[in-house]
């Protein structure tokens, strides 16, 4: 099991992470409007990709370090409807406060055939914690994550 000597840690990446995606037919309901569950999948993709970009591979954290990252809270505010054929951009930022990751994400429809300007579709806030494979909560930032995010300090 991974141990920690770091009682508190805070971290905010310098740059947000974003990716673009073409809305597929399987992302929509029978009316061609993006199904709410598709957003949950995209939000997860954004969080996982951002962490990977920072050197945190979730599979490796689980297999080699006994650390998994469950979502404990997620709030989503739907602002407008996206549609099949839209190109969207998902932007992710987070801050680490102690042992919790607080993610803030937005999905924006980009200008194109269906809309003249960018349009905010959703805003979401997600809280992620760290537990071991038996479900025990890490109340301190594990050493491996401290090193990846904050250096050897």
- DSSP code, position 117: S
Q: Is 3 domain-assigned?
A: no
Domain hosting residue 79, numbered range: 10-150
Q: Cα torsion at 77, 41, 127, 7 (round to 10°)?
A: -160
Integer Cα distance of 78 and 93 in angstroms: 18
pLDDT at 15: 84
49 pLDDT more than 60: yes
102: domain CATH number is: 3.10.129.10
- The average pLDDT across 116-125 equals 98
pLDDT one-digit tens code per residue, 66-110: 999 999 999 999 999 999 999 999 999 999 998 899 999 999 999
Q: What is the DSSP string of 24-70?
A: PGGGB-TTSBBPHHHHHHHHHHHHHHHHHHTT--HHHHHHHH--B--
Q: Is 2 domain-assigned?
A: no
Q: What is the pTM of this model?
A: 0.88
Question: How many separate domains does the chain show?
Answer: 1
- The average pLDDT across 134-147 equals 93
Q: Is 48 domain-assigned?
A: yes
């Amino acid at each position: 099991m991974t141990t920690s000597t770091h009682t508190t840690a805070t971290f905010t990446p310098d740059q947000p992470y974003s990716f673009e995606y073409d809305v597929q037919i399987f992302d929509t309901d029978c009316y061609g409007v993006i199904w709410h569950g598709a957003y949950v999948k995209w939000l997860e993709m954004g969080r996982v990709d951002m962490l990977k970009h920072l050197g945190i591979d979730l599979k490796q954290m689980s297999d080699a370090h006994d650390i998994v990252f469950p979502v404990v809270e997620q709030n989503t505010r739907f602002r407008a409807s996206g549609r099949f054929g839209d190109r969207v951009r998902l932007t992710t930022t987070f801050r680490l406060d102690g042992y919790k990751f607080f993610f803030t994400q937005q999905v924006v429809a980009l200008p194109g055939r269906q809309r003249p300007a960018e349009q905010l579709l959703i805003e979401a806030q997600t809280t992620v914690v760290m537990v071991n494979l038996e479900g025990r909560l890490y109340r301190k930032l594990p050493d491996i994550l401290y090193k990846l995010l904050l250096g050897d300090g």
